[in-house]
Amino acid sequence: MPSIFSRIVSGELPAYKVAEDDHHLAFLDITPLVEGHTLVIPKKETDYIFDLPPTELAALHQFAQRVAKGVRAAVPCRRIGVAVIGLEVPHAHIHLIPMNSVSDMNFANPKIKVAEARMKELAAAISAQVPAAETTTAAAATLAPQDSKGGRETTEASAAATPAANGNDATLSQLQQLTQGLVFMSESEAALEPVSYTAPAGGLTDAALAQLAGVPAGTTVEKQELTYFLRNHTADEGVLGNAELANRFKALQMYLKQELNEVQVYRFGSGPQVPVLVLGEAEGGKLAGFKTVLTET
């Protein structure tokens, strides 16, 4: 009997496809660990991935690499995790999982439910970002760029020419992706603006917080818990009956709580315009999070 994946390949069963060539197929997992969880398979049914001939195994991973680039470009995350389990379906497959922490790769976690409309949107977004296959010549040039004398640069020289980004840059970059286009709804709308600060030497006193928020010294500071602050926006349908936006706020909340320490919401003053800072401790003695403004009359 054909595997469920072979039935997808033949068209007997539907799937949210994100990439395909003559020998491989990639589609969204319908019981994902996180949004964007993608499966990559060879079209030829083979139970155990390491029973594939070496050339076919290499080709499968090269295809998966292209798909992973598409997933990472379309789904906000720090990395794409890779897993091969091979027990649940007797058809070789690779899991590509957008991850912001190691716990996102835990297959013991409850699977999430993603609405059909959102699955279609994710599949289209990922598909649009999957790069075209490189030719052998182009791939070779990428792996071994020529120097000015027509020879090949060494791996060490190439690595030295690319400085590594520090951890806080990565955090801010991720926050920029997660908050892009999001607005906080109170009596008006206000954008979420990602921020990064050097932690004050004397700690987060009210005076230091006021300076970070750009409000007058002596302004009252009220603390709130992050989950409570975002409770309306992370409800199943959000504040506007939009499940997609609710899922984005959930992803932002999860990232803040998993990747930053001691995350806290700080409200300044009593309105009608209430500046808000959401801050946690990032790597390298930094603070990171976002700021916004509430309207309360």
The stretches of the chain forming alpha helices (DSSP H) are 4-10, 54-74, 116-129, 136-143, 155-160, 167-179, 206-213, 226-229, 243-259
Cα–Cα distance for residue pair 271/142, rounded to 1 Å:
56
Q: Of 37, 93, 95, 233, which one is the catalytic site residue?
A: 93
**CB of 246 within 8 A of CB of 237?**
yes
Torsion angle of alpha carbons 134, 120, 3, 88, nearest 10°?
100
Q: 238: closest CA among 183, 180, 178, 174?
A: 183
Q: 287: closest CA among 247, 254, 260, 255?
A: 260
Question: Catalytic site residue 93?
Answer: yes
Q: Which two tokens stand for residue 24?
A: 């491989």
Cα–Cα distance for residue pair 115/90, rounded to 1 Å:
27
Query: Angle at Cα 163 formed by Cα 160 and Cα 165, nearest 5°?
Result: 150
Is residue 238 helix, strand or coil?
coil
Residues designated catalytic: 93
